[in-house]
Structure 1
Amino acid sequence: MQSSPPDTVTRGLWELSDAPSIEWMFKTSADPEVIGSVAWMLPTVEWTRELHIATVCPPLLSAFRTCFHGGFQLSVSARQLALACGRALHHIACDETIQKLNSSNDNDQHFDWDSLELWSAWHDIALPWGLKACRTSFDLYATTQDENHENQARTALRLAIVTGCPGFLKPNDVTLIWDGVFDWNNANRVPKDFDWLVDFLVHFRTFDARNFDAMADALLALSAMQGLGSPEKRDNYLDTIIFSMEADKPSRLRHAALRAVFDARLQLVEIADDKEGDSEFREQLLTDLPSALLTMTKLVAPQLSAHDSDAIFNPGREYFYLQLIFTLAKQSDWRDQLEKAGHIDRCVVLLDHVINLKDSSTGLSEPVKTHPYYLAGTLIRLDASGSYRSSCFADKISELEWWKLLKGAWSAMWWNDLYREDELLEALPGIVTYTLESLETETAKYDSKSLIRMVDRIYEALKDEEAEPGIISAVKSVKDRLDSGGS
């Protein structure tokens, strides 16, 4: 790991590491080696009003892009220059002092990317480098208790996390939670490789060192684990996740915890299925996590804006929540605990928002979102009766609401190619059963034609994909009913 500039940098440059000197060097030199050396220094410089983003960012971004002009397999020198310039650009975007000293318009116009390929190449370099820098500093803190090392570890992790999406985003940008990519190219990693990061997370939960931003960063990084960690650490990890979902915690922390659990969802099902494993941990997981998840999704205060991260319906949060519950509900023990914790009522609350889903930026309907499929599949899995007419939903969901939800589920399946995903096809027979029942109602009688083309397309697509005969046959039963007039 290189946390300082290359050896080729002269000591003289480091003696000029104040704001006026930095400004002067950016204005007078286009030499990539000089730009790279100044870039290594920039995060240590006290920013002043005399140091302008408009002066600093263009040469940094130009040098950064130059590193990738020869392709995405970088030489050692190009890699060092990319790390120096990219680290400096992220620092400028993240540092609160810099943001306060520069207008928002000035901030936004200097951070752009040429392509997703460029971001992907940068991400593959910067994320593992930042995590390694974080681990080195945190290990030093553990042995020395020097707070400087603690701060360096926290900063290194933050600068790693902000590489999770294209662009130079601020750490609190919700895009990082819902769209961030935090895995890296190393197929040989095992859960124990993440133990140090779980220790980091737990450390910043302790009262004396408590830092919710550092915890959220760690949870996002730990989402790459796609599980609950090694047997030695998973108790602490689960406890901290549940702590992070409490109603009085900041939304960024609660949502980062949701992201971590979402990425671990397949292992959660495996643990519940493994009745021969650690029974105490399994019991804690099944008992405590459903209640914590419900708390995490609930409204904690009156909302002033539909864009608020804690709004009653947050499309990003609900996408992860519904897909998580959808997966868990296919396992009987999870299903029982989710129902006991109150997740059916939570899904009913979301129903009106899902069937009337609109793009918050345009106000236009967005029928191609996947939310309806996950919500329909989840409600059907949580219904032990197998029929909405005799189920616990009878006094909670009207025939019209069911019909709109089921139409949305079929639409979501087609427009998002969900028929190509085996896990999602597992829920299709239930959706077929409910659709056939719904087609018998007065509500559907005058609207069934709106479903014909969608079901026809899905039926043909499933045949092209050579789906299981039982799935194709189930969809054909809906197709035949619709072709005969829906009654």
Structure 2
Amino acid sequence: MNKCTLSLHLPDILTSNLEAPSIKWLLETSTDPEVFIAAASLVPLVEWPLDLDVSDMLHQLSDIFTSCVGFDGQIVPSLDGKASACIMAMSHLYCGRVLHAYPDRGELHGRGRTDFGMFNEMTWWNIGDANDTVLTTTMNLFLPEDENGGFMWYSLDDCPDHVTEWLSHCLPYHFVTGRVNQGIEAFAIKVISKRLSSPSSPSNQIIANCTLLACVMVGVQFDKKNIIRIDKSAALPQVTQSLLARFQSVLWAWDGGDLEKDSTGVTRRAYHLLNIICRILELAQSHYNPSFDTMRNLDVCKKIYSRAKSPDLSVSLSALPNALRFTLTASQVSRDPASLWTDSYSTGDSHSPEDFDWLVEYLDYIYSDDKEAAFDILLLMSLMEVRCSPAKQHQFFESLIACMGSNMPVHLRYAALRAARIVREEIVSIDTIDVNVRDMVLTKLSPAILTTVCPRPGTTLADDPHHFFHDDRDKCYLELIFPLARNSNWHPHLFGDHHIDRCISMVGEYCRSYSRHAFYLSGILFRIAPEQLSVPSLDAITEQQWWDMISSAWFCAQFVIGDIYCFESLPVLVEGTKRYMGVASEDGLERLVRCVDVVLDILEGRDSEQGEGESVTVTVKEFRAVASDMLEKLVNSKGVISS
């Protein structure tokens, strides 16, 4: 992409179809001051083809601006509007003329003055900060080759929207023609930030203009005719995809060295644009294809982390949150907490737990000071189903416990719950991990998990119903607690930390919903049934609720038995079902038999393909016969009574 020019899919600009010739005619012929100001104000709003000669216009605008200056060397107050319109119109036309003449550095204005000198002279008069910003930006297009310094850049805080809009359009000319220094780089970043951070959602035109500016900053080249476009919104998919591809390639090529020694400046710009690129990708999410190079992007994050911890400190750790955010947005992963439970991501890259040890270290370092970065880390780890290495287990579980704290933002606590579900195998196999980690998991992680799904003290259902029941959150919680119930070492903690009480409270909410919750709830409660005397609240579950939960569990079994924990739980569900079949109606038993048949078909296919689970299949098959016999007896008994 560095070696060729990208031509956007935009229609050619035909001079005959544009407003530019009409505006040119008005400026050159009108004697009405109001008409002149109106025409001059339109100059930056239309496209000026590169083959349209505007030399006379430039001279005329320069002369009229000079006529607005009084004898005291200041702009006449009543002529402020005319002077400002001339400044903006001249600057806009000069950008196009410079692009047309590039790489020639010949003077465009003539009349014995250099272009640089003319614009510099115009800044001497009291013309206001906005006009100064426009002139200073244009003047940099004529910066002498031996001039290494920059100019004072005015704040954009009070800059009118039409000026920042023009700046986002004209700044690509600087990068395309090579008239750029670090002052221009920093200013361009400020302009993009302001344009994309408006209270109202920016338009596609604003996003496209800012995206193209970011593109040229990192080395994407374009046809001149596409640079002069005022509205580039039709090319938004192209420029966004080009930006993502080019930005990634620049970052991947970085060796982790000192960015200030970057001879081209492209890598340095890419590094400083991290936050901007994330914002662009979030706004244009539907306009580009996601990147599947997650591990390569994470390697860049790792370089930043390693470099920031090195003695020379040539790279700041403050860039790492933006680099992680870029890794997510490049993959089109939403950071919206509402999408936390539904997003999934699969990467073809191979990785080992040790590849993420640095990320575990960084999470431990950052979670107390930067909650959003901690959220991104946990979101990334859960989406990629990252398991930490044994060496980092203790540190990782400590961070999870802290992020689940009641003082943490809700979305961070939920992200920690989702990350804990990914490592549930380690949590279940509590007997096989380091004794210090085991003690911490049992005594601290267990109650911390409960805080993510339980209402805070004093909260009522009317205050926040999601604190009591939240479908996706509760499913994630049950998927974590469900396998713990198979380990008897966990039972005292499931009881003592009130996980069982929480599960019982969910029965009424989910037992009739035909959701997976019912399968997990039945598995948890049936496994602890021998100990039910120690849980008086079990008595609150009616026989009908038990049966409703069991019916829903069998209906959902077909969707979950691919999970080894769910598969192994089928015999437990069989025994529990036998216990409550007496309350089933004829319709209920018919539905049960149909569901069991579906499960059997899946199990028998699994047995034939993998040759495993025969005992489970036999158990379910025998139960199917029992249920069928019971249904037949119920039907026959009704027939006898009827006759």
| Bin for the TM-score computed over the shorter chain | 0.7 to 0.9
Aligned match for 1:376, one of 522, 530, 554: 522
The alpha-carbon distance between structure 1 residues 311 and 43, as it changes in their structure 2 partners (threshold 3 A), is farther
The yes-or-no answer on 1:179 pairing with 2:323 is: no
Q: Residues 405-484 of structure 1: matches in 2 within 5 Å?
A: 405-414=549-558, 416=559, 418-441=560-583, 443-444=584-585, 447-466=588-607, 468-484=613-629
Q: Which amino acid aligns with 1:253?
A: L
* TM-superposed deviation, 1:457: 2.3
Aligned match for 1:54, one of 192, 200, 204: 204
Normalised by the length of structure 1, the TM-score is 0.72
* TM-superposed deviation, 1:211: 1.5
The alpha-carbon distance between structure 1 residues 446 and 316, as it changes in their structure 2 partners (threshold 3 A), is closer
Q: Which amino acid aligns with 2:376?
A: D
Q: Which moved more, 1:456-465 or 1:134-143?
A: 134-143
What stretches of structure 1 of length at least 5 have no aligned partner? 28-38, 69-75, 95-106, 358-366
Q: Which amino acid aligns with 1:375?
A: L
Q: Which amino acid aligns with 1:255?
A: Y
Aligned match for 2:318, one of 151, 158, 168: 151
* TM-superposed deviation, 1:288: 1.4
| Residue aligned with 2:279, SS | helix
The alpha-carbon distance between structure 1 residues 341 and 163, as it changes in their structure 2 partners (threshold 3 A), is farther
| Residue aligned with 2:545, SS | helix
Partner of 2:439: 283
Write the distance in 2 (CA, Å) between the matches of 1:245 and 1:391: 26
Q: Which amino acid aligns with 2:204?
A: A
Normalised by the length of structure 2, the TM-score is 0.56
* TM-superposed deviation, 1:412: 0.4
Partner of 2:379: 220
Q: Which amino acid aligns with 2:364?
A: V
The yes-or-no answer on 1:255 pairing with 2:411 is: no
Q: Residues 10-409 of structure 1: matches in 2 within 5 Å?
A: 20-24=166-170, 45-48=191-194, 52-55=202-205, 56-57=207-208, 58=233, 59-64=235-240, 80=249, 90-92=278-280, 94=282, 111-112=285-286, 118-119=289-290, 122=291, 124-125=292-293, 127-143=294-310, 149-163=316-330, 165=332, 169=334, 171-181=335-345, 184-187=347-350, 189-206=351-368, 210-223=369-382, 224=384, 226-231=386-391, 233-270=392-429, 272-274=430-432, 278-300=434-456, 301-302=459-460, 310-357=466-513, 367=514, 369-384=515-530, 394-409=538-553
Q: Which amino acid aligns with 1:133?
A: V
The alpha-carbon distance between structure 1 residues 292 and 420, as it changes in their structure 2 partners (threshold 3 A), is closer
The answer on whether the counterparts of 1:64 and 1:81 sit within 8 Å (CA) in structure 2 is no
The answer on whether the counterparts of 1:133 and 1:153 sit within 8 Å (CA) in structure 2 is no
The alpha-carbon distance between structure 1 residues 349 and 244, as it changes in their structure 2 partners (threshold 3 A), is same
Write the distance in 1 (CA, Å) between the matches of 2:450 and 2:194: 46
* TM-superposed deviation, 1:250: 0.6
Write the distance in 2 (CA, Å) between the matches of 1:53 and 1:113: 13
Write the distance in 2 (CA, Å) between the matches of 1:86 and 1:113: 19
The answer on whether the counterparts of 2:277 and 2:326 sit within 8 Å (CA) in structure 1 is no
Q: Which moved more, 1:139-148 or 1:79-88?
A: 79-88
* TM-superposed deviation, 1:408: 0.4
* TM-superposed deviation, 1:292: 0.7
| Residue aligned with 2:452, SS | helix
* TM-superposed deviation, 1:6: 5.7
The alpha-carbon distance between structure 1 residues 440 and 456, as it changes in their structure 2 partners (threshold 3 A), is same
| Residue aligned with 2:549, SS | helix
Write the distance in 1 (CA, Å) between the matches of 2:451 and 2:301: 31
Write the distance in 1 (CA, Å) between the matches of 2:187 and 2:340: 27
Q: Which amino acid aligns with 2:529?
A: D
Write the distance in 2 (CA, Å) between the matches of 1:153 and 1:86: 9
Write the distance in 1 (CA, Å) between the matches of 2:495 and 2:557: 26
Write the distance in 2 (CA, Å) between the matches of 1:324 and 1:297: 12
* TM-superposed deviation, 1:254: 0.4
The alpha-carbon distance between structure 1 residues 129 and 390, as it changes in their structure 2 partners (threshold 3 A), is closer
Q: Which amino acid aligns with 1:172?
A: D
Q: Which amino acid aligns with 2:590?
A: K
Residue-by-residue CA offset, 1:23-79 (whole Å, 9 max, x unaligned): 35799xxxxxxxxxxx999866443459953113443423445899xxxxxxx8696
Q: Which amino acid aligns with 1:227?
A: R
Residue-by-residue CA offset, 1:392-424 (whole Å, 9 max, x unaligned): 66413111111011100111013x2x3444331
Q: How many residues in Structure 1 have an aligned counterpart in Structure 2?
A: 418
* TM-superposed deviation, 1:324: 0.8
The answer on whether the counterparts of 1:137 and 1:149 sit within 8 Å (CA) in structure 2 is yes
The answer on whether the counterparts of 1:172 and 1:252 sit within 8 Å (CA) in structure 2 is no
Partner of 1:361: none
Write the distance in 2 (CA, Å) between the matches of 1:42 and 1:406: 62
Write the distance in 2 (CA, Å) between the matches of 1:475 and 1:435: 11
| Residue aligned with 1:440, SS | helix
The answer on whether the counterparts of 1:219 and 1:257 sit within 8 Å (CA) in structure 2 is yes
The answer on whether the counterparts of 1:130 and 1:160 sit within 8 Å (CA) in structure 2 is yes
The answer on whether the counterparts of 2:364 and 2:396 sit within 8 Å (CA) in structure 1 is yes
Q: Which amino acid aligns with 2:620?
A: V
The alpha-carbon distance between structure 1 residues 375 and 87, as it changes in their structure 2 partners (threshold 3 A), is same
Residue-by-residue CA offset, 1:309-341 (whole Å, 9 max, x unaligned): x43111221121111111222222123322221
Write the distance in 2 (CA, Å) between the matches of 1:419 and 1:155: 40
* TM-superposed deviation, 1:147: 12
Write the distance in 2 (CA, Å) between the matches of 1:473 and 1:64: 56
* TM-superposed deviation, 1:260: 1.2
Residue-by-residue CA offset, 1:92-144 (whole Å, 9 max, x unaligned): 365xxxxxxxxxxxx6xx64268xxx43xx1x22x334423333333344347
Residue-by-residue CA offset, 1:435-481 (whole Å, 9 max, x unaligned): 1111123x546632232221222223322332633222222233223
The answer on whether the counterparts of 1:67 and 1:82 sit within 8 Å (CA) in structure 2 is no
| Residue aligned with 2:502, SS | helix
The answer on whether the counterparts of 2:404 and 2:412 sit within 8 Å (CA) in structure 1 is yes
Partner of 2:256: none
The answer on whether the counterparts of 2:400 and 2:416 sit within 8 Å (CA) in structure 1 is yes
The alpha-carbon distance between structure 1 residues 401 and 303, as it changes in their structure 2 partners (threshold 3 A), is closer
The answer on whether the counterparts of 1:246 and 1:254 sit within 8 Å (CA) in structure 2 is yes
Cα RMSD after superposing both structures = 4.3
